[in-house]
Amino acid sequence: MGDHVSCVIRNVTLPGGRVADLTLGGGRVLHAGASGRADEVIDAAGLVCIPAAVDMHTHLRGGSQRHKEDWRSGTTSALFGGVTVVVDQPNTVPPLTTPGVFAARVREAEEEAICAFGINGGVVPGADLAGLWRAGALAFGEIFAGPSSYGAAVPPDTLRDAFMVLQHFGALATVHAEDPLPGAPVDLHDHDRLRPALTEAQAVGAVCDLLPRGGRVHFCHMSTAAAVDAACGTVEVTPHHLFLSWERFDRGDTTARVNPPIRTERERKELWSRWGRIDVVASDHAPHTSEEKGVPFSDAPSGIPGVETMLPLLMAEVFSGRITLRSVIEKTSYNPARILRIPKAGFEPGDRADFALYPEETVAIDPDALHTKSRWTPFEGMAAAFPEIVVMGGRCAAEGGEILSCRGRWIPGKGYIP
């Protein structure tokens, strides 16, 4: 005892159905049961309180790409969606492949971020993997086993060698597995044709063949059931592959251009049929400006912003009874924390005291109400439930559309040597 109580959340319905007060202090849950005095009291009556999300796949841009997004705008967007930990991908400009560039990235984030963050190291031929691990890389990747925006494909030999090194560290490799056909797509249908479902699943199999025994691999943003079935490690899917199909858009609509591509309605439904096998839902938040997207399809960058809409879209599915609340908590919070080996948020004493509290009502997604610098979203008009309150580090971080004082905290990887 003796821990300073920073906050009490009253009337929380716990996963087993019991209603309790959560006492928070030192960034942790201290007690679930009856509560005493606190600096701050939040009433969760009428709200659904869940552990806040760890979005393990975001491209926060910044640096020379801060016109697309910066750490402040990207993490504000995260917080308003119920995400309190974001994991940044290394395909920045320049890419995060040396300890010096990595350390500069950490400094930039520490100055600007308003939620917690991890940063992954990059894997390309010649990358200093040992230096990145010591500099605090949380994991490695997304490693481009197929080319994408701001990332050329990594040759199989480089991938095999990197897997060996990372296995030695006990580090996680996260992989973007695709094998596109040559050519520039002219529309969404063509994009799906040039990055086919079949070669995505084959690329997954090829990556598994390169993995040494005991190696840890996580497959990013799998877009088809066949790719999920081919995976030998943990499986991540995105809201855009779960909720969007290209038939829903005008064929030339660049806002839905992303790698791997948005598939057909049939593929989308097939992907949902693997819900039980999916370990993680992550956003692959990849913002670009409207001007950058406003060019002919074949020249438009791939990528969709989504850190703020991820949980709201999933919570709307929970409220309509299509998926369980438990499955959403596992795939957005418990599993990514376990896979990344960071403390989990939750209701037990000692858990990280990060929560998002949702009213049981949905609104239509409005791009003007979002906080990313992208002034557009392909999810426009879809039903979503946004959190009313977000708690981070045992304190109220956002309420009723207002950010209260909060600072981003860096979560270094296990190899970090200060």
Query: Under the rule (CB under 6 A), what is the footprint of ligand DOR?
Result: 59, 91, 148-150, 176, 258-259, 286, 302-303
* DSSP class of 415: T
Give bridge partners of residue 210 from the DSSP assignment: none
Kindly state the tokens that stand for 133: 């691990």
CA-based radius of gyration for the chain: 20
Q: Is the dihedral of CA 305, 310, 312, 316 positive or negative?
A: positive
Q: Which of the following is catalytic: 21, 284, 351, 354?
A: 284
Helix 197-210, helix 156-169: angle, nearest 10: 50
368 is catalytic: no
- At closest approach, how far in Å is the CB of 1 from ligand DOR? 47
- At closest approach, how far in Å is the CB of 289 from ligand DOR? 12
φ and ψ of 133, to 5 deg: -65, -45
- Give the type of residue at 223: S
By beta-carbon proximity to ligand DOR, the closer residue of 176 and 293 is 176
For tokens 């796949």, what's the residue?
Answer: 57
Inter-residue contact 147 to 300 (CB < 8 Å): no
Distance between CA 355 and CA 358 in Å, rounded?
10
DSSP 293-359: HSS-GGGSPP-B--TTTHHHHHHHHHHTTSS-HHHHHIIIIIHHHHHHT-PPBSSSTTSB--EEEEE
Residue whose C-alpha is closest to residue 370's, from 308, 418, 283, 311: 308
Distance of CA 413 to the CA centre of its chain: 17
By beta-carbon proximity to ligand DOR, the closer residue of 148 and 224 is 148
By beta-carbon proximity to ligand DOR, the closer residue of 176 and 263 is 176
- At closest approach, how far in Å is the CB of 150 from ligand DOR? 5
By beta-carbon proximity to ligand DOR, the closer residue of 304 and 356 is 304
Kindly state the tokens that stand for 356: 């998002």
Kindly state the tokens that stand for 199: 């070669």
Strands 172-176 and 140-144: parallel
By beta-carbon proximity to ligand DOR, the closer residue of 84 and 91 is 91
- At closest approach, how far in Å is the CB of 148 from ligand DOR? 4
By beta-carbon proximity to ligand DOR, the closer residue of 88 and 112 is 88
Inter-residue contact 265 to 305 (CB < 8 Å): no
- At closest approach, how far in Å is the CB of 339 from ligand DOR? 18
- At closest approach, how far in Å is the CB of 271 from ligand DOR? 17
Q: Catalytic residue positions?
A: 284
